[in-house]
């Protein structure tokens, strides 16, 4: 059983989820989602921009796991950022996923007109069509600008987060507001697997580098969403609750910070 944590509105979310980014729509994502659910994942991270939500929905049905047992996140893309556009995008998303609600609906990237989009999310939340709302790739100044005067504080901020980029300032700011951090790109597109210090820690614990990175995130209070289409690796990524990194391990990992990103800097997106 994967542990869960409470969000600021009382909803609970599994601390590790299955990412669906860059898995092709159709049989590939359908089989991957069904496999993930069969292994015990109960948190799926989706987005309209991934162009595979129809396959995700079919994978859920194929798995036989009850919808009520699955936490589904989706994201609204930058082309749908207006109030009415966001409401329309939501209807399209739940149709693709073959569900009548989302557990978490978030804004994929900050943009100057995010306020109307966020107000649409608040409306969906008030109507109980989503159980929680959130944001992604937002820095503190983006959050301040968007939520000023708004009645609902985001439950989650999904950001790039790995040993090279722990984003302490954003994490601390979000903690002050009760916003949970979810880590996307936890392995920095595979670069974490080639860091000698992580390999040494992995060897000491008889774990993989992937497991060390995910465990580090969990111990820092981070929700994480690794992605793999290989069942053995999907299973491996779940086996992170039977060991603990000690203070020296955490110190070594903290020393790896470089500020490098695999995704664009949110302040320099061409939107």
> Domain for residue 23, yes or no?
yes
Residue of 50, 105, 125, 161 marked catalytic: 50
Q: Using the 8-state DSSP alphabet, how is residue 16 labeled?
A: B
Please, what is the average pLDDT of the chain? 97
What is the 3 state secondary structure string of 27-95? HHHHHHHHHHHHHCCCEEECCHHHCCHHHHHHHHHHHCCCHHHCEEEEEECHHHCCHHHHHHHHHHHHH
> Domain for residue 263, yes or no?
no
> Domain for residue 181, yes or no?
yes
> Domain for residue 104, yes or no?
yes
The answer to whether 142 is annotated as binding is no
Q: What's the pLDDT at 194?
A: 98
Cβ-contact 254, 166 below 8 angstroms: yes
The H or E element that residue 13 is part of is strand 12-14
Q: Is the pLDDT of residue 270 over 80?
A: no
pLDDT per position as a tens digit, 135-177:
999 999 999 999 999 999 999 999 999 999 999 999 999 999 9
The Cα 143–Cα 218 span in angstroms is: 24
> Domain for residue 265, yes or no?
no
Total of domains in the chain: 1
Say what the pTM is: 0.97
CATH number at residue 81: 3.20.20.100
Q: What's the pLDDT at 99?
A: 99
> Domain for residue 4, yes or no?
no
Look up 161 and say whether it is catalytic.
Answer: no
Length of the chain counted residue by residue = 271
pLDDT per position as a tens digit, 193-225:
999 999 999 999 999 999 999 999 999 999 999
> Domain for residue 42, yes or no?
yes
- Which string of DSSP letters, residue by residue, matches 123-184? HHHHTTSBS-EEEES--HHHHHHHHTT-S---SEEEEE-BTTB--HHHHHHHHHHTPEEEEE
Cβ-contact 32, 229 below 8 angstroms: yes
The Cα 48–Cα 115 span in angstroms is: 19
> Domain for residue 234, yes or no?
no
Domain that holds residue 89: 9-189+216-228
Q: Is the pLDDT of residue 113 over 90?
A: no
Q: What is the percent of the chain with per-residue pLDDT over 90, rounded to a whole number?
A: 97
Q: What's the pLDDT at 169?
A: 98
């Amino acid at each position: 059983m994967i542990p869960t944590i409470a969000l600021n509105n009382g909803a609970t979310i599994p601390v590790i989820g299955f990412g669906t980014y860059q898995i092709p729509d159709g049989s590939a994502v359908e089989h991957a989602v069904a496999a993930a659910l069969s292994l015990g994942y109960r948190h799926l991270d989706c987005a309209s921009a991934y162009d595979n939500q129809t396959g995700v929905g079919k994978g859920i049905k194929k798995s036989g796991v009850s919808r009520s047992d699955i936490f589904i996140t989706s994201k609204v893309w930058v082309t749908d950022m207006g109030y009415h556009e966001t409401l329309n995008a939501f209807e399209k998303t739940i149709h693709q996923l073959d569900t009548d609600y989302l557990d978490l609906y978030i804004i994929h990237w900050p943009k100057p007109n995010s306020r109307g989009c966020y107000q649409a999310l608040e409306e969906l939340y008030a109507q109980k069509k989503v159980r929680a709302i959130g944001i992604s790739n937002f820095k503190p100044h983006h959050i301040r600008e968007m939520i000023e005067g708004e009645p609902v504080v985001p439950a989650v901020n999904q950001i790039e987060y790995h040993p090279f980029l722990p984003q302490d300032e954003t994490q601390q700011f979000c903690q002050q507001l009760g916003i949970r951090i979810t880590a996307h790109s936890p392995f920095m597109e595979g670069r974490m697997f080639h860091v000698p210090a992580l390999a040494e820690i992995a060897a000491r614990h008889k774990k993989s580098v992937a497991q060390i990175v995910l465990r580090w995130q969990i111990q820092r209070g981070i929700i994480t969403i690794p992605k793999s289409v290989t069942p053995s690796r999907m299973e491996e990524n779940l086996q992170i609750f039977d060991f603990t990194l000690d203070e020296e391990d955490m110190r070594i990992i903290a020393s790896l910070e470089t500020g490098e990103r695999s995704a664009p800097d949110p302040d320099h997106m061409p939107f």
